[in-house]
Structure formats: structure tokens, C-alpha cells
């Protein structure tokens, strides 16, 4: 029998610790300290358990594609043979009808050319977290001794870009820093030949707002609109793809798409902690101590068991279950309440608009009108 929920993949917390201590990190600095009781690294026993449960899920669902995202903490704190063994076991255990995609999301500090060779030979794609190319852009990404991570990350990026073993250039994941200048940032990324960038809004909830965030203003929308204009009007065929904008444009043009921030699709990733705990969206750690704990573990539960767990169910259906304000919103078909973590409050759970509501409304209205002008001009 086919399962009713189709998940795209698992985010594997292969390391629960990190060599950096970014100010906005939901793993360590937004109110949840449960990482301290987690094993530092995922064991082979957990790997075997999770691959067996993925096998059961794939056979029951018939899914022809599945993604493993190696995450942390910092996933390159794990020894390389962890990855070699993981991919070898996955080939042995998982059904051959499923195409497996592997991604590692790293801060890049340890990304040597040797790591690039190992990851490339295993077919693991690389995403690098970086907030820009200046010290100012990266001022929230310091190590535990308050030292800058910028040069080490840039070295990692260059290693990955120049590695002949990697089939795909690394993508960049940036948390928006309002102190950065979007025009300069875009020019820097272009100069560095970055091909894919995603921008994230800093995490927070209605009770735990991001530092210096002012919900009554639209600073993030203004920042993103400046970036959107430069990017949208850039006719260079090799310009970087900005995933956030591609997703918004796709939704505005009626293309559907399965995104966790916007749109009406279900959220389709589960988290596996280093001890095998099955959890929902990891940024929900910003909702408070132990918030993401579900009492489910990959040793004793299947992936299907987790689909009915209330918090995981909320996550999966976050773009379907909207508050009254969202239901009546002019941009609801694209926004769908935004990212689940940003909707949480202790009093009302997820029955809220996003803390970034004003920003989202302004940004989405702006992009829609720009697309409309373009479509009308071409008709
Ligand atoms: S690199 Fe990632 S996991 Fe490490 S502290 Fe920064 S945001 Fe957190
Ligand atoms: S813009 Fe605000 S009200 Fe509209 S759907 Fe998004 S979060 Fe809800």
C-alpha cells in the first residue's frame, strides 16, 4: 500500500557541534540547548537503522528520488570515512529504482581540496554558508574565540570551485544581514563566479524576535527589493541564480513548486538527530528548549510513524493550515503564511502570520507588479 505523505528526504545531523558560533544560529543561540545531550557525531549503528527505515519507506511509497542532506553543527567535523561508508551502505541497502541525491551543507572552514576530492568522488554536492564577501557582511559568523570565519570560508569556496572532482559548483546559503549593501553583495558574488545563492531571513518567532528586528518596518523587504531589481534587470546569461527569487517568480507565474518558505506545497523533509531522534524542521528550535523533541527515534520507529506526530504533521501541513489574517491576504497564494518557524507564538502556536508579514507582503506585491509590467509590455 502506498503511503499518503511523500517526503523528499532527510536532513541528517551528522555532527551536533560546530567550529563556529554564529550569532543567529538556531542550533545553539536561539534558546534550545538540547544539543548538549546529543552524541557529538552520528554512529554507524544509527546510519544502518536510518537506511533500513528509508528502504522500507521507498518500497512502500515507490518514490523514485530521495535526498540526504548532511548537516550539523558542522558536518565536516565528521571523519571522511563516515561519508564513504554511508554512500557504500546506501548503495547496498536502498532500492535501485530510487535516484539518491547527496548534499553536504558546510560552513566551508574545513573544506580543503582533499575534502572536495572525497565528496566529489562520492557524488556529494556542496552547499556553503556565507553571508557575503566582507568582514562586515560576515560579522555574525564568528568562531568560539570571536574570530572571523571569512577567510577560511572563502578558501573553502575557492577549493570547491577549482576542484576537478566536483561535478557541480558549490551553492551559497546566506542569512540576510541588513548591514550589507545588496548592490555590492551581488557584484561580489558575481565576481567570485557564484552560480547559485539562497537568501534566508534570520530565524525567530513572535516571542523570540531576531536581534534588532522591527516588525513594524519593512527593512528586509526593502533590502530584498533592491537586490531583486539588480538581479532581475541583469541580462548577463551567466548571472547567479537566486533561489528565493526563482521560487517567488515560479509561484507568481503559476508554476507550483515545492518550497518550504512559500507556496502551497507540503513540507517534505524530516530531521534525524545524531542519536537517531526523528524531528521536524530544525529551525523550530527557536521556539524554545526541547521544542522539536517528538519521542520518536529511527531505531524504534519508521518514517511513516512520524507523519502523524502532531508537530511533524503541523510542519508538513504548514502551508495548508493558515490563520485568519493569512486566509484573507492578497498575496496568500504565493506566501501561504511564510516559513513555519516565523509564525510561532506561545499563546497561539502556529495560528499567526509570519513575523515578517509586512516584509513578505511588500516584497511579493512588488515582484508581482514587476512581472505584470513585463508581461503586459510583451503582449
Ligand atoms: S556554521 Fe551553521 S551550524 Fe555552525 S554555528 Fe554557524 S549557523 Fe550554526
Ligand atoms: S503576507 Fe502576511 S498575511 Fe499574507 S500570507 Fe504572508 S504572512 Fe500571511
Using alpha carbons, list the distances in angstroms from residue 282 to 16, 71, 270, 316. 12, 10, 9, 13
Q: What is the chain's mean pLDDT, rounded?
A: 94
- pLDDT above 70 for 1: no
Ligand nearest to the CA of 30: 1
Tell me whether residue 258 is exposed, middle or buried, using C-beta atoms within 10 angstroms of its C-beta: 0 to 12, 13 to 18, 19 or more: middle
What are the residue ranges of helices labelled H in the chain?
A: 44-61, 80-93, 113-121, 150-162, 182-191, 219-233, 243-252, 303-306, 310-316, 324-327, 332-335, 357-378
Using alpha carbons, list the distances in angstroms from residue 316 to 40, 54, 206, 312. 28, 18, 20, 6
Cβ atoms within 10 Å of 259's Cβ, excluding its own = 20
324-341 pLDDT tens trace = 999 999 999 999 999 999
Of the candidates 332, 338, 329, the residue with the CA atom closest to the CA atom of residue 262 = 338
- pLDDT above 50 for 203: yes
How close is the Cα of 100 to the center of ligand 2, in Å?
Answer: 35
Confidence of residue 379 (pLDDT cuts 50, 70, 90): low
Tell me whether residue 323 is exposed, middle or buried, using C-beta atoms within 10 angstroms of its C-beta: 0 to 12, 13 to 18, 19 or more: middle
100 forms beta bridges with: 66
Ligand 1 atom with least separation from CA of 149 = 1
The whole-angstrom separation of Cα 354 and Cα 358 is 9
Ligand 2 atom with least separation from CA of 356 = 7
How close is the Cα of 134 to the center of ligand 2, in Å?
Answer: 33
Is the link from the previous residue into 165 a cis peptide, with omega within 30 of 0? no
User: Residue 2's pLDDT is what?
Assistant: 43
At 272, is the secondary structure helix, strand, or coil?
Answer: strand
244-274 pLDDT tens trace = 999 999 999 988 777 888 888 887 899 999 9
Ligand 2 atom with least separation from CA of 361 = 1
Ligand 2 atom with least separation from CA of 343 = 7
User: Residue 6's pLDDT is what?
Assistant: 82
User: Residue 163's pLDDT is what?
Assistant: 97
281-320 pLDDT tens trace = 999 999 999 999 999 999 999 999 999 999 999 999 999 9
The whole-angstrom separation of Cα 173 and Cα 129 is 5
Question: From atom 6 of ligand 1, which residue's Cα is the shortest distance away?
Answer: 22
Over residues 207-217, mean pLDDT:
93
The whole-angstrom separation of Cα 336 and Cα 264 is 6
Over residues 27-35, mean pLDDT:
95
196 forms beta bridges with: 241
367 contacts 373 by C-beta, under 8 angstroms: no
How close is the Cα of 365 to the center of ligand 2, in Å?
Answer: 11
User: Residue 378's pLDDT is what?
Assistant: 64
User: Residue 4's pLDDT is what?
Assistant: 67
192 contacts 150 by C-beta, under 8 angstroms: no
Q: Domains in the chain, please, with CATH? A: 9-319 (3.20.20.70)
Question: From atom 7 of ligand 1, which residue's Cα is the shortest distance away?
Answer: 25
Cβ atoms within 10 Å of 167's Cβ, excluding its own = 9
Over residues 340-347, mean pLDDT:
97
Say which range, 132-146, 170-184, 247-261, 280-294, has the weakest mean pLDDT.
247-261
263 contacts 219 by C-beta, under 8 angstroms: no
- pLDDT above 60 for 3: no
User: Residue 8's pLDDT is what?
Assistant: 92
Ligand nearest to the CA of 175: 1
Percentage of residues in the chain having pLDDT higher than 90: 89
What are the residue ranges of helices labelled H in 126-239?
A: 150-162, 182-191, 219-233
Compute the Cα dihedral for 39, 42, 48, 50 and give only its sign. positive
How close is the Cα of 329 to the center of ligand 2, in Å?
Answer: 6
Using alpha carbons, list the distances in angstroms from residue 256 to 5, 66, 194, 252, 265. 18, 20, 26, 9, 8
Residues 129, 14, 243, 141, Cα dihedral to 10°: -20
Ligand nearest to the CA of 360: 2
User: Does residue 25 line the site of ligand 1, with CB under 6 A?
Assistant: yes
Ligand nearest to the CA of 25: 1
- pLDDT above 70 for 47: yes
- pLDDT above 60 for 61: yes
How close is the Cα of 112 to the center of ligand 1, in Å?
Answer: 18
Tell me whether residue 344 is exposed, middle or buried, using C-beta atoms within 10 angstroms of its C-beta: 0 to 12, 13 to 18, 19 or more: buried
How close is the Cα of 25 to the center of ligand 1, in Å?
Answer: 6
Ligand nearest to the CA of 334: 2
How close is the Cα of 215 to the center of ligand 2, in Å?
Answer: 13
Q: What is the DSSP string of 333-358?
A: HHHTTS-GGGG-BTTTBT-S--TTHH
How close is the Cα of 173 to the center of ligand 1, in Å?
Answer: 11
The whole-angstrom separation of Cα 124 and Cα 19 is 21
Q: What are phi and psi of 370, to 5 degrees?
A: -65, -40
Compute the Cα dihedral for 207, 209, 214, 215 and give only its sign. negative
Amino acid at each position: 500500500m502506498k503511503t499518503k505523505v511523500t517526503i523528499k528526504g532527510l536532513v541528517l545531523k551528522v555532527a551536533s557541534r560546530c567550529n563556529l558560533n554564529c550569532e543567529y544560529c538556531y542550533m545553539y543561540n536561539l534558546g534550545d540547548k538540547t544539543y548538549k545531550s546529543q552524541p557529538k557525531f552520528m554512529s554507524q549503528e544509527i546510519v544502518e537503522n536510518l537506511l533500513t527505515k528509508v528502504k522500507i519507506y521507498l518500497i512502500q511509497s515507490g518514490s523514485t528520488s530521495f535526498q540526504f542532506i548532511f548537516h550539523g553543527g558542522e558536518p565536516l567535523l565528521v571523519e571522511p570515512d563516515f561519508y564513504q561508508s554511508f554512500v557504500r551502505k546506501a548503495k547496498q541497502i536502498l532500492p535501485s529504482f530510487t535516484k539518491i541525491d547527496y548534499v553536504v551543507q558546510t560552513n566551508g572552514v574545513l573544506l580543503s581540496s582533499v575534502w572536495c576530492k572525497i565528496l566529489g568522488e562520492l557524488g556529494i554536492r556542496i552547499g556553503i554558508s556565507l553571508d557575503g564577501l566582507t568582514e562586515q557582511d560576515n560579522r555574525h559568523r564568528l568562531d568560539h574565540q570571536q574570530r572571523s570565519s571569512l577567510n577560511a570560508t572563502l578558501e573553502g569556496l575557492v577549493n570547491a570551485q577549482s576542484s576537478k572532482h566536483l561535478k557541480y559548483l558549490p551553492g551559497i546559503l546566506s542569512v540576510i544581514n541588513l548591514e550589507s549593501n545588496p548592490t555590492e553583495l551581488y557584484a561580489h558574488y558575481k565576481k567570485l563566479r557564484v552560480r547559485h545563492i539562497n537568501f534566508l531571513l534570520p530565524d525567530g518567532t513572535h516571542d523570540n524576535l531576531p536581534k534588532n528586528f522591527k516588525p513594524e518596518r519593512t527593512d528586509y523587504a526593502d533590502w530584498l527589493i533592491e537586490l531583486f531589481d539588480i538581479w532581475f534587470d541583469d541580462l548577463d546569461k551567466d548571472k547567479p541564480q537566486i533561489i528565493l527569487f526563482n521560487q517567488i517568480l515560479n509561484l507568481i507565474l503559476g508554476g507550483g513548486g515545492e518550497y518550504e518558505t512559500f507556496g502551497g506545497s507540503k513540507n517534505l523533509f524530516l530531521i534525524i538527530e545524531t542519536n537517531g531522534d526523528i524531528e521536524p524542521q530544525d529551525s523550530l528550535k527557536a521556539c524554545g528548549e526541547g521544542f522539536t523533541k517528538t519521542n520518536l527515534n529511527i531505531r524504534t520507529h519508521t518514517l511513516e510513524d512520524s507523519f502523524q506526530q502532531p508537530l511533524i504533521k503541523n510542519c508538513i501541513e504548514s502551508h495548508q493550515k493558515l490563520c485568519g489574517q493569512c486566509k484573507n491576504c492578497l498575496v496568500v497564494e504565493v506566501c501561504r503564511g511564510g516559513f513555519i518557524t516565523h509564525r510561532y507564538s506561545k499563546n497561539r502556536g502556529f495560528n499567526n502570520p509570519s513575523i515578517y508579514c509586512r516584509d513578505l507582503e511588500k516584497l511579493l506585491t512588488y515582484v508581482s507588479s514587476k512581472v505584470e509590467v513585463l508581461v503586459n509590455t510583451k503582449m
